[in-house]
Amino acid sequence: MGLIESGLDIKDAAAIAWNGKHHSNLVHEEPVSELGFDEAVDVESDAISKKPKFRFGADNNINISMRMRLECSIVNREGVVRARFNVLNEVVIDRGSSPYLASLETFCDDTHLTTVQADGIIFSTPTGSTAYSMAAGGSVVHPVVPAILVTPICPHVLSFRSMVFPDHVVIRCTVPNDARSDACVAFDGRYRRLLHRGDSVEIRMSPYPVPTIDRTDHTADWLGSLKRNFNFNTRVQQKPL
């Protein structure tokens, strides 16, 4: 799950694709200019040969980061899989329109983790750590760290804090039979489904990550994005005495 350097000269860069079930293909058929991914360019033109417009990578190498995704399955009380989704950011289980706290039993590799009594809970990838999870108080995680983040939403217990698990675990979140109401689940903010009592959501690392092209490398791009979009740790400089 780390950085892959293709080692290709930019002029010779060819198609980049990653195929899989329920996976959105990322195909880079031609190099693109600094104006964006929608503008294809002719790599054979003399103008490009004399004055390259490419701004990806360094030393004529294109760097690719593999962004982890989560494979999520909705399973009913009979053990039948009702639906399956792959998410890049997070899966959120919440109380929906119910006025009561969500009551959820959470397991990690079939070992009881905790009973969630909160507005909901977020299971996110490192890529999604700067989205809903961060807004709910979760940690910010480097996108190539192989991990699953578990972040509660407004928990009713002060000791319930965000946790980070290795990517090989399987997490199961179940609506218990004695819950006051049903729950809802959403995948990357879409495909909202109702979870009845006895239903569960199983979450594991997807075998189909998303390859992304880095402008420089994964660390420089990520830190630059944090500083640019979030003004990360920006304050007025303390003046000397």
Q: Which two tokens stand for residue 32?
A: 């693109």
What are the residue ranges spanned by the domains of the chain?
Answer: 3-67+209-230, 70-205
Identify the helix (H) or strand (E) that includes residue 224.
Answer: helix 218-230
**How many other CB atoms sit within 10 Å of the CB of residue 206?**
22
Q: Which residues pair with 164 in a beta bridge?
A: 149
Provide CB contacts within 8 A for 60, sequence distance 6+: 9, 10
pTM: 0.75
Q: Which two tokens stand for residue 72?
A: 């999520």
Q: Is the pLDDT of residue 29 over 50?
A: no
Give exposure, 176-205, as e/b (b: 16+ Cβ within 10 Å).
eeebebbbbbbbbeeeebebebebbbbbbb
Give 171's Cβ-side CA count (13 Å radius): 30
For the CA atoms of 111, 115, 119, 121, the dihedral, rounded to the nearest 10 degrees, stands at -10
Q: Which of 34-38, 43-47, 64-68, 88-92 has the highest mean pLDDT?
A: 88-92
Distance CA 165, CA 147 (A): 6
Q: Is the pLDDT of residue 24 over 50?
A: no
The more confident residue out of 189 and 2 is 189
Band (63; pLDDT cuts 50, 70, 90): confident
Q: Is the pLDDT of residue 36 over 50?
A: no
Q: In this predicted structure, what is the pLDDT of residue 56?
A: 62
Report pLDDT digits (tens) over 149-193: 999 999 999 899 999 999 999 999 999 999 999 999 999 999 999
Q: In this predicted structure, what is the pLDDT of residue 146?
A: 93
> Is CATH 3.30.565.10 the classification given to domain 70-205?
no
Distance CA 114, CA 157 (A): 12
Q: What percent of the chain has pLDDT over 90?
A: 59
